[in-house]
C-alpha cells in the first residue's frame, strides 16, 4: 500500500486477516463428500463482525457460478496441519463500500457518514444486479472475476449494457492493479466481440502485463464459463496514487 | 432505423411523437418570467399515457442540472404559430427500458414479460443513481448528455466509479450513433483525466466523426458544466445491426 494509504487506513489496524473455513455443505447445492473445505480470506474486525461479505454464494447463484466458485476456492491458500500454507489464490471479500469500515481522517469520516455505496453493490435484491466474486494470485499477478449478470443490467434488449461490461472489467483489472498499492483508472480500451445475455455467467481473467514507474498495464478477457466464447477483451492502464490526495480533492 | 427494426417495432406504430409543452413554473426552482416554455419531444402512446419519462427535472436535480436542462430545452424544436419549426435540438425521453412499451414478435414479448430494466435506470430512488437527460441534434450529428452522479455510483472513496463513467459514455455515444439506425458497441477507448466527485454534474458531448459502411466512429468528452475541466475523453466505435438477430441470439 502507498505510504499515504497507511495513514488513512489507521483504523484498519483493528482488522485482521482470517482464514475462513466455510462448509460446502450448503443447502442450495449438493457437493460430493470428496470436496475439500472451501478456503477463503476475509478482512474481519474483532471481536465479532456484522460486516457482510457479498461475495459468498446465495440462492440466486446459478450452477456455473457455484462451479467456478468451488473451483477457485479449491485453489485458495489454506494452512495445513503442519502449519505450512498451500494454494496460491485468495478470495477477495466483497463489501458494499471500499472504506466503509475503516476510520481515520476527517475527510474519510465525512465519506463514511454519507450514504455512498460501491457502484457494483448498489442493488439490494440478490441476483438482480451484479453477483460476483474475485480471486487473486499475487505471485502470478493475476485476478479472476466470476460474474453473474442480473436482469437490472440491461442495455440492448435482453443483453448486458456495454457500460455494465465496462464496470466489470474496471473492477477486475483494478483489483489486480491494486495488488501492490492504491491505483486509479487512467485508460480502458474495450473491444466488444459478442453480446452477453442477461442472466449469463462470465469469467473475467486479468494479468499485469508490465509496470513502468507509476503505470500499471493490465490485460483482460471476458469469456463464457468454459472459456470457449470470447465476449470481450480489453487493456487497462492504472496509475498509482496517494489516496490522501484523492480524499482531499487535489 | 434498420429494416429489421421496423418489423420488431411494429407495435410502435401506435405511438406518436408529441411536442410536450412543460411549464417551467415548477416549485423546485425559480425561473424568470422571460424564460420560454420548455420544449421537448416524447414518445407517448394514445389515448393516454402511464409511461414515465425519467429525463424530466425532479426535486433531486441540482442547480447546474436544471440550468443545463433549461439551456438545451431552449434550443429544442418547437412549432411556431405559423406552423414552421424552429430549433435544431430534440430532447430524448428517458424510459427505464428501451423496448418496454413496444409490441410485436415472440422474442420481444418474452423480454417484455421479464423484469429487466435499463442499467442506467435501475435505481428507483431519485437522485441516488444516474440522473440524466439526452438532447440530440440530427443535422450536426451530435448528442449531449447532462448527468448528475448520485451517491450509489461510488468507485474510489467519494468519487464516481470508472465503470459508471464508462456507462455514461456508452449511453451518450450510443445515442448519437443510433440516430440513423440500431447499433451495438464494438469499442470504447476511454481516457480518465480527472476524477468526478459524487454528486457532481457533468456534460457529455458526442459527435459522429465518420461513417464507414456499418462502422460509426464517435468522439466524446466529459467536462464540468462550464466546460473548463476535462474529466474524461473517449472514442467509440459502433456497428449497425439487425436487432432481430440480437433478439434471436444469433
Residues B178-217 pLDDT 10s: 998 999 999 999 999 999 988 899 999 999 999 999 999 9
- Rounded distance between C-alpha atoms, residue B131 and residue B154, angstroms: 15
Using an 8 Å CB-CB cutoff, list chain A residues near B186. 191-192
Q: Does B199 touch chain A (CB under 8 A)?
A: no
For an interface test with A, which of B188, B233, B240 has the most A Cβ atoms less than 10 Å from its Cβ?
A: B188
Q: Of B117, B109, B132, B113, which Cα lies nearest the Cα of B53?
A: B132
Please give the average per-residue pLDDT across A107-133, as a whole number. 81
Question: What residues of A are annotated to the active site?
Answer: 170
Tell me B158's DSSP state. Answer: T
pLDDT(B81) > 70:
yes
pLDDT(B169) > 70:
yes
CB–CB of B164 and A198 under 8 A? no
Full set of structural domains in chain A with CATH: 1-51+98-117 (no CATH), 56-92+123-248 (3.10.129.10)
Is the bond preceding residue A19 a cis peptide, omega within 30 degrees? no
Across the interface, which of B119, B123, B157 has its CB nearest the CB of A108?
Answer: B157
A101 contacts: CB under 8 Å, gap ≥ 6 = A11, A15, A45, A51, A95
Q: Does B102 touch chain A (CB under 8 A)?
A: no
The full length of chain A comes to 250
pLDDT(A180) > 70:
yes
> A57-66, A91-100, A181-190, B199-208: lowest mean pLDDT where?
A91-100
> A163-177, B43-57, B94-108, B184-198: lowest mean pLDDT where?
B94-108
Give the pLDDT confidence score for residue B13 in this predicted structure: 32
Query: Sorting pLDDT into bands at 50, 70 and 90, what band is B30?
Result: very low
- What residues form DSSP beta bridges with A206? A143, A220
C-alpha cell at A218: 493490465
Q: Report percent pLDDT > 70 for chain A.
A: 71
Residue reference for cell 439487425: B242
Q: What is the mean pLDDT of chain A?
A: 77
pLDDT(B37) > 70:
no
Q: Of A4, A12, A1, which Cα lies nearest the Cα of A243?
A: A4
Cβ atoms A131, A124 nearer than 8 A: no
- Positive or negative, the CA dihedral A41, A43, A47, A49 is negative
pLDDT(B5) > 80:
no
Q: Does B178 touch chain A (CB under 8 A)?
A: no
Q: Write phi, then psi, for A5 (nearest 5 degrees).
A: -60, -35
Count Cβ atoms within 10 A of the Cβ of residue B98 and give its class: 0-12 exposed, 13-18 middle, 19 or more buried: middle
- Positive or negative, the CA dihedral A50, A55, A56, A61 is positive
Q: Does A243 touch chain B (CB under 8 A)?
A: yes
Residue by residue, DSSP assigns A143-206 as: EEEEEEE-TT-BSSTTBB-HHHHHHHHHHHHHHHHGGGS-EEEEEEEEEE-S--BTT-EEEEEE
Across the interface, which of B152, B171, B186 has its CB nearest the CB of A192?
Answer: B186
Please give the average per-residue pLDDT across A185-190, as a whole number. 98
Cβ atoms B94, A137 nearer than 8 A: no
Amino acid at each position: 500500500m502507498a505510504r499515504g494509504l497507511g495513514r488513512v487506513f489507521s483504523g484498519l489496524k483493528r482488522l485482521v486477516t482470517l482464514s475462513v473455513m466455510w462448509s460446502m455443505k450448503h443447502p442450495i447445492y449438493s457437493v460430493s463428500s470428496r470436496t475439500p473445505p472451501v478456503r477463503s480470506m476475509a478482512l474481519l474486525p474483532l471481536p465479532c463482525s456484522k460486516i457482510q461479505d457479498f461475495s459468498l454464494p446465495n440462492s440466486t447463484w446459478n450452477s456455473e457460478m457455484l462451479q467456478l466458485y468451488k473451483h477457485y476456492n479449491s485453489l485458495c491458500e489454506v494452512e495445513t496441519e503442519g502449519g505450512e500454507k498451500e494454494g496460491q489464490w485468495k478470495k477477495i471479500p466483497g463489501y458494499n463500500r471500499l472504506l466503509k469500515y475503516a476510520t481515520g481522517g476527517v475527510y474519510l469520516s465525512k465519506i463514511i457518514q454519507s450514504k455512498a455505496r460501491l457502484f457494483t453493490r448498489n442493488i439490494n435484491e440478490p441476483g438482480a444486479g451484479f453477483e460476483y466474486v474475485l480471486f487473486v494470485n499475487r505471485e502470478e499477478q493475476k485476478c479472476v472475476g466470476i460474474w453473474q449478470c442480473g436482469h437490472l443490467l440491461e442495455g440492448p434488449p435482453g443483453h448486458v449494457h456495454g457500460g455494465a461490461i465496462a464496470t466489470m472489467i474496471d473492477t477486475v483489472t483494478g483489483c489486480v492493479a491494486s495488488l501492490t498499492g492504491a491505483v486509479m483508472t487512467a485508460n480502458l480500451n474495450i473491444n466488444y466481440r459478442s453480446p452477453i445475455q442477461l442472466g449469463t455467467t462470465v469469467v473475467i481473467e486479468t494479468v499485469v502485463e508490465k509496470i513502468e514507474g507509476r503505470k500499471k498495464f493490465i490485460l483482460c478477457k471476458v469469456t463464457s464459463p468454459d472459456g470457449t466464447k470470447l465476449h470481450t477483451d480489453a487493456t487497462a492502464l492504472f496509475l498509482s496514487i496517494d489516496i490522501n490526495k484523492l480524499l482531499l480533492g487535489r
